[in-house]
Amino acid sequence: MLDLTARHYLISGRVQGVGFRYFAEHSARARGIAGWVRNLSDGRVEVFAQGRADRVKEFEQDLRRGPSRAEVRGFEAMDAAPLQMVRFEIR
């Protein structure tokens, strides 16, 4: 991919127990994003995403909103180095 972008996210608020990981997986796969999502022991959700820059930006907007039962209160986004990944998974 010529326009490959990778981003790392830490999302806080009411983001565990509300389907956030499944929401992220669905959004990523619909946009052709590779990477992963996982719950952290401190209550946050961590996401790594890579793909075309425009699609990663759209995915980031989805993460900022979250699923209907979530309440995103904190959102950190950092550039990351691309990894050898071809699909998106829940960890």
Catalytic residues: 21, 39
Q: What angle do CA 67, 72, 80 make, to 5 degrees?
A: 95
Q: Which residues of 8-45 are buried (b: 16+ CB within 10 A; e: fewer)?
A: bbebbbebbebbbbebbbebbeebebbbbbebeeeebb
